[in-house]
Amino acid sequence: MQPKGDRTVTDTPAPKRRRDAQATRARILKAAVVEFARHGFAGARGDRVAVRARSSERMVYYYFGSKGGLFRAALESVYTALRDAERSVRLDPNDPMKALHQFCRFVWSYYADHPEFISLLNTENLHQARHLRKSGVLGELVSPVVGMLSQMLADGERAGVFRRGIDPIELYVSIAGLGYFCLSNRHTLSMVLGRDVAAPAALHRYWDEAARMVVQYVSADDSPPIDGKTAAASRLLPDRL
């Protein structure tokens, strides 16, 4: 159903129609990202997408087949964008602590700069990653950041600045969570706490503290953080999932 490119080897300048078509498709996709980010999957409206893309509802179906297809495409597009950004991050290879710091900043500002990414993720999680599961691009999506963190942790250990035994995935989830939550839940937090935790200034102050948290966590100088008894006691809390 999608007009899959079947251009031959001869590199004649692309016919105008073709370029327009691609441009239309791109406009629709961009509009879809905005629409899904604003209204979620069920709340998104085809006609609003069409208007925003300066196209017609009919074209949306022409290019993407269905609402689900459009959402999948939108999701893939924001994931691809994230991965491109991740790949272009340059972490200081000689100073693991500085690299960690850079990593945190990258993740956190990416979230801050891409609210549509956060919203699409939330929506996709509401749907239990149904669309992602169907995505063919998924294979390529496995995040490069885990590899990056592993490398960084290994470097740091070797250099004696990081302690050993840190799980890169857990570290990644911690870092992401520290940055994600106050942006994702900005509106309810503002209501409940009576203060906008995602206002630019507040955010930067918060990031400084969060960075401190992460850095101390990985640092070599380990005082045993929790005495056994306390940990055991807290485990007695019901852990129903």
Our CB check for DNA shows the closer of 47 and 209 to be 47
Using CB under 8 A as the binding rule, whether residue 58 contacts a second copy is answered as: no
Our CB check for a second copy shows the closer of 26 and 231 to be 231
Q: Contact with DNA (CB under 7 A): which of 51, 59, 97, 112?
A: 59
Applying CB under 8 A, the span of 16-24, 25-33, 56-64, 124-132 interacting with a second copy comes to: 124-132
Applying CB under 7 A, the span of 18-26, 84-92, 110-118, 208-216 interacting with DNA comes to: 18-26
Q: Contact with a second copy (CB under 8 A): which of 17, 160, 221, 228?
A: 221
The binder of 26, among a second copy, DNA, none, by C-beta within 5 to 8 A per type, is none
Using CB under 8 A as the binding rule, whether residue 217 contacts a second copy is answered as: yes
Q: How would DSSP label each residue in the chain?
A: --------SS-PPPPHHHHHHHHHHHHHHHHHHHHHHHHHHHH--HHHHHHHTTS-HHHHHHHHSSHHHHHHHHHHHHHHHHHHHHHH----TT-HHHHHHHHHHHHHHHHHH-HHHHHHHHHHHHTTTHHHHH-TTHHHHS-THHHHHHHHHHHHHHHTSB-S---HHHHHHHHHHHHHHHHHTHHHHHHHHSS-TTSHHHHHHHHHHHHHHHHHHHBS-----S-HHHHHHHHTS----
Site for a second copy in 64-93 (CB under 8 A): none
Our CB check for a second copy shows the closer of 61 and 217 to be 217
Note the residues at the interface with DNA (CB under 7 A): 1-3, 16-18, 20-21, 24-25, 42, 44-47, 55-62, 65-68
